[in-house]
Amino acid sequence: MGRRRLRTALTAAALATVTLSGAAPPLATAVTASRPAAAPDWSVAVVDSTTARYTPSTIGGWSYPVGLYLYGQYRTYRRTHDPRYLAYIKSYVDRFVKSDGSIDQSFDSLDSMQAGRLLVILHHETGQDRYRKAAQKIRDRLDTYPRTSDGGFWHADSSSRAHQLWADGVYMVNPFLVEYGKEFGDSAYTDDEASRQLYVYGSHLQVAGGLLRHAYDESRTASWADPGTGLAPEHWCRAVGWYAMAVTDVLDALPAGHPRRPQLLAIFRSLAAGLEKYQDPATGRWFQIMDKGGRSDNWTETSCSSMFAYALSRGAQRGYLDRHYADVARRGYEGVLAKLSVGTDGRTDLAGISVGTNVGDYAYYAARTRATNDLHGLGAFLIMNEQLRGD
């Protein structure tokens, strides 16, 4: 559905602003027929639709997809100041964090750490010390967390993930780290650790042309690992998207004179060139298997397209990348908006999102379920939309 048709459908549906209890008052920004329709606030529409579908108790357990989505909701809150959005996040987190700051999580995988960003956010917003105590459990876990010989955090502390670096993992821990450091006065450690992780991961995963492979196995024992390089065989788009967002967020946090800043900028600029090369000219989106868009069973994927649009736009805005990447980002943004529609229930639907995915071969990635309203896609959409909506 094009943007004009989508705008008309949303206005006609008068998409409700949803309270935590599920009540749905009329859309406050609905326009009258005598004036041209204003561009809809897609972040508000997606948040209101998602919080109408799920309560803080039913949206899911402690996990990175929920953490990603709620981080996107927080970005929307920071602009709109709608207190319901922050209350929803707090209600979710308070399922897991007790009043004394204890949290029943072992943090034995990077995936389990991503929602820790919400702990830092809630400490910042409420000042309640229990969120600091819970966040510190993640920070302290990293002191004993297993690493590769050159210092990269394993994807998980388990036999099936031992010695492995997945591009996904850099987003699961490093934005949390730099935000934790800023909030709690630990930036000397967190900036160095986060930038080191991005460099180590990038040095292994990035190949000629700028794209990153999904994963690397230092032991070369995983079924997918090349016996010579240890690399996974394919460039899976969301794995690369996680890296793109993470390097953007960490660069935002690093001091201008940080010694690893030039290394991260070089990785990011090489990646951006690869993203521009492999962007689908027909849709503006990116393919599930990034460099094989000509194959008939490949398909453009919404979550990674949102991630790339965000990272390229932010990178161009902040001077990490050449300004022309803002145009590449804008094409990606328009391509993602084309996957957004409004259902008969008046709620948004975002299509073409790959479900959670392990490391595999081409056939495995191509056959992944293409979901609608999967939280991977909704969270990435909100992060992108908050960056690009005002361009």
Assigned token pair, 150: 């050159």
Residue 217 catalytic? Answer: no
CA-based nearest residue to 82, from 93, 90, 73, 91: 73
Specify the 3-state DSSP secondary structure of 120.
helix
Rounded to an integer, what distance in angstroms lies between the CA atom of residue 180 and that of residue 369? 35
From 41, 48, 111, 168, the catalytic residue: 168
Half-sphere exposure of 196 (CA within 13 A, CB side): 13
Question: What is the CB neighbour count within 10 angstroms for residue 259?
Answer: 10
State the DSSP code for 39: P
What SS3 state is found at 212?
strand
- Percent of the chain as helix, strand, coil, to the nearest 5: 50, 10, 40
Spatial CA neighbour of 379 closest among 272, 264, 302, 282: 302
Angle at 189 between CA 183 and CA 192, to 5 degrees: 115
User: What secondary structure letter does DSSP report for 349?
Assistant: E
Residue 342: its H or E element: strand 340-342
Write out the catalytic residue numbers: 168
